[in-house]
Amino acid sequence: MNDAGYIFAGYFSTFAILAGYAGWVIRRKRTLSRLLRPEDIT
Amino acid sequence: MTTKSSPAVRVLGWLSAVTLALTAVMALVVTPGDVNMGDSVRLLYLHVPTAWLAMYVSFGVTTLASVLYLWKRTRSRFWDLTAGASAEIGVLFLGLTLLIGSIWGRITWGVWWTWDARLTTTAVLFVLYLGYLAVRKVPASPEVQSRRAAIVAIAAFLDVPIVHQSVEWWRTLHQDATFLDDRRLLDPQIHGSMAWTLFLGVIAFTLLYCWLLAHRFRLAWLEDRLADRAMQVAIDERRAEAGIS
């Protein structure tokens, strides 16, 4: 494959950024749900 | 509403992970290189779906939700939170579109960036929606904040048709539309495994968008509840200080 470095860098950065964002959303969601009382979130 | 994901959202998450992995395998291993672009075409299996997701789906949902928020009969906090969540995901996808496009440009054109009409209008769109996310953070009452954000979202969306038509209106380095064009919708310029991989990529990223939206909306809703609770605690403290029961 020609330009393999560029192509793999593109794929790696895309999936890393998406995984990082998804991880941040889920972690923050868990943190906030711990801060709230059950009656606040129902 | 609960903080846990529903089984449907979990299934959506798994489906998007599987289809994304399949897209990567198809794009990097199965499909052939392009006769003109060579192997750099493999980046377009990410570039096209992320652009589609950002411009048409994410920002489209943000605009629709903003209109529904502004319309008195349908005004609800739900639409405002949906608009904000979708815009944030759209900015993420548009950032990826610009990043992958830049890498593709380095291989094909020899430069990371050029002030081409398509690239410039897309960069403007990226900045407009970053501005929208910033406007959502400007302190004000929740109603004012939401109304202001909805107006900015609708104004920002005006750039989407300009981005779409930029390759027609100006002479650009960027290639014409492959699918979303009135001449090419029934006669696309891509066939066989390349077309199927592109199609699979669009499905995979659309599933990912739905999964991310479900989680990001729930996070926005929790932030909203926390802000309400903080406000209530502050009011109770002031009342206690003033000796009001």
One-letter amino acid identity for A18? L
pLDDT, average across residues A10-21: 96
pLDDT computed for residue B242 by the predictor: 85
Structural domain contains residue B182: no
Count of domains in chain B? Answer: 1
Structural domain contains residue B9: no
Residue A33 pLDDT class (50, 70, 90 cuts) = confident
Minimal Cβ distance to A36: which of B106, B208, B225:
B225
How many CA atoms within 13 Å lie on the side-chain side of B76?
8
pLDDT, average across residues A9-21: 96
Residue A20 pLDDT class (50, 70, 90 cuts) = very high
Instruction: Give residue B148's domain range.
Output: 14-31+40-174+191-244
Residues from chain A contacting residue B39 (CB–CB below 8 Å): 1-4, 7
More confident residue, B98 or A4: B98
Give residue-wise pLDDT tens across range B191-243: 788 889 999 999 999 999 999 999 999 999 999 888 888 888 888 888 888 88
Structural domain contains residue B99: yes
Q: Distance between CA B83 and CA B210 in Å, rounded?
A: 13
Name the residue of chain B whose CA is nearest to A6's CA. B103
Give residue-wise pLDDT tens across range B48-93: 999 999 999 999 999 999 999 999 999 999 999 999 999 999 999 9
Identify which of B16, B25, B20 has the alpha carbon closest to the alpha carbon of residue B193.
Answer: B25
Are A14 and B99 inside 8 Å of each other by CB? Answer: yes
DSSP secondary structure letters along B20-89: HHHHHHIIIIISPPBTTTBGGGGGHHHHHHHHIIIIIIIHHHHHHHHHHHHSGGG--HHHHHHHHHHHHH
Q: How many CB atoms are closer than 10 A to CB B18? A: 12
Alpha-helical (H) ranges within chain B are 7-25, 44-51, 59-70, 77-108, 117-137, 142-157, 159-169, 192-242
Q: Distance between CA B211 and CA B17 in Å, rounded?
A: 10
Angle, vertex CA B114, rays to CA B112 and CA B117, nearest 5? 135
A residues 11..30 contacting B (CB < 8 A):
11, 13-15, 17-18, 21-22, 25-26, 28-30
Hey, of B41, B210, B218, which one would you mutate to test binding to chain A, going by the most A CBs within 10 A of its CB?
A: B218
pLDDT exceeds cutoff 60 at B2: no
Give chain B's radius of gyration (CA, Å).
Answer: 21
pLDDT computed for residue B201 by the predictor: 95
pLDDT computed for residue B187 by the predictor: 59
One-letter amino acid identity for B1? M
Structural domain contains residue B186: no
pLDDT computed for residue B182 by the predictor: 59
Give chain A's radius of gyration (CA, Å).
Answer: 18
Q: Distance between CA B118 and CA B172 in Å, rounded?
A: 7
CATH number of the domain residue B206 falls in: 1.20.120
Give residue-wise pLDDT tens across range B148-190: 999 999 999 999 999 998 888 887 777 766 655 655 555 566 7
Are B106 and A6 inside 8 Å of each other by CB? Answer: yes
More confident residue, B211 or B141: B211
Does the predicted interface ipTM exceed a cut of 0.85? Answer: yes
Minimal Cβ distance to B28: which of A11, A18, A32:
A11
Minimal Cβ distance to B212: which of A13, A17, A22:
A22
Q: Output the six-digit token pair for B236.
A: 């109770």
pLDDT computed for residue B178 by the predictor: 62
Q: A3: which DSSP letter?
A: T
Phi and psi at residue B38, to the nearest 5°: 70, -145
Structural domain contains residue B69: yes
Structural domain contains residue B218: yes
Q: Distance between CA B215 and CA B230 in Å, rounded?
A: 22
Minimal Cβ distance to A29: which of B24, B99, B215:
B215
Structural domain contains residue B62: yes
pLDDT computed for residue B193 by the predictor: 84
CB B172 within 8 A of CB B116: yes
Structural domain contains residue B5: no
Give how far A35 is from chain B: nearest CA, Å: 8
Give residue-wise pLDDT tens across range B84-135: 999 999 999 999 999 999 999 999 999 999 999 999 999 999 999 999 999 9
Residues from chain A contacting residue B92 (CB–CB below 8 Å): 17-18, 21
- Whole-prediction pTM: 0.90
